[in-house]
Amino acid sequence: MLNLAMILALLGTAWITRPIQAQQTPTPVIADPIADKQFPPGLSVLTIPSTGSEMDAFFYLASGAGPHGTVVLLHGLPGYEINGDLAQSIRRAGWNVLLFNYRGTWGSTGIFSQSSAIEDTAAVVRFLRDPASIATYRIDPRRLVIIGHSFGGFLAGYEGSHDPDIIAIGIISATNLGRINFDPKERDSRLKRWQTQLHPVHGATASDLFAEAERHAKEWGYVQWADALRTRPVLLVEADDHFAAAGT
């Protein structure tokens, strides 16, 4: 619940510069919105194309006439945890929230790789800026925020640092793929962990993904993105896990 609270604080008051330990839980986390009969909230199910593949996407639409700021919520790898509770809370706070499954994961067609997931994220952002999408889903394209967890946190940082029109990013315990080979011991234990977790991923083994990350070590070290992001609000949510040191 703490993560939700911190992210909502980001969305509500964008410029918080000190770490916050204890926060009041905002109303949208714990209470339903007032019913809006004219513009009720909804769930739209979409297929978003990315380089010839079809990605399943779930678009939680906020109540009210809008246009609504819109959050892309990126799950990790492979995405057993999709943070569906967070999506609902963000929607209650008045934002649309889009979740999707990367190419080659959870039944989305195509082959998965980390590079293709980077492209998938950009494809989703393009989709949200498309005039037809803006009209259909009551999107405010000037208020796009990307929030990601674990591998999704890496993608959020990548997309945010490469697209200056994303207004803010939230990074929840992100994986730093640029440092995957930094500590050989850590590399081995992570590889073992990934090998047991990638069942719903099509077309890539843990070793493939490690080799890919090592090839891209230079451009995927996320600490270097700080400069590109420094004019925008960035929320880093850390946990007592193996990613904390890399995130700070």
Partner 1 sequence: MIWAMKRIGCLAFLLCLVLWSGNTIRGQESVQQVPAAVTSDPSPDPANPATMAWPDILSHGSKMYSVLYIASGSGPHPTVLMLHGFPGNEKNLDLAFSIRRAGWNVLVPFYRGAWGSGGTFSFTHAVEDTQASIDFLRDSENAKKFRIDPAHIVLVGHSMGGFIAAYAAAHEPKVFAAALVSPGNLGPGSARQRTDDPQFWERWNDNASRLVGTTAQQLVQEADSDPAKWNYMNCVSLLKNRPVLVLEADDRNTSDNQELASRLRQAGDSEVTEIHMHTDHPFSDHRIAMQAAIVNWLGIITAVRSPSQGPEKPTTRTKVVLLGTGTPVPDPDRSGPATLIVVDDRAYLVDFGPGVVRRAEAAALTRGITAARPGNLKVAFVTHLHSDHTAGYSDLILTGWTSGRAVPLEVYGPSGLQSMTEHILQAYRVDIETRTNPDAAMREIGRSPDAWKVNAHEIKAGVIYKDEKVTVTAFATKHAMESYGYRFDTPDRTIVISGDTNPVDATIKACNGCDVLIHEAQPLEMQAKMPESVQSFVARYHTTTEQLAQLANKAKPKLLVIYHTITFPPGIAPPRLLPPDASADALYVSPEMLQKEISSRYSGHFAIGKDLDVY
Question: Which residues are near partner 1 by CB under 8 A?
Answer: 1-2, 20-25, 29-33, 35-36, 40-43, 45, 56, 58, 60, 63, 80-85, 87-89, 91-92, 101, 105-107, 197, 199-200, 202
Residue whose CB is less far from partner 1, 22 or 65: 22
Number of residues written out for the chain: 248
Residue whose CB is less far from partner 1, 32 or 130: 32
Please report how close the Cβ of residue 196 comes to partner 1 at its closest, in angstroms. 9
Residue whose CB is less far from partner 1, 45 or 132: 45
Please report how close the Cβ of residue 46 comes to partner 1 at its closest, in angstroms. 10
Please report how close the Cβ of residue 239 comes to partner 1 at its closest, in angstroms. 12
Please report how close the Cβ of residue 137 comes to partner 1 at its closest, in angstroms. 14
Residue whose CB is less far from partner 1, 88 or 181: 88
Residue whose CB is less far from partner 1, 112 or 210: 112
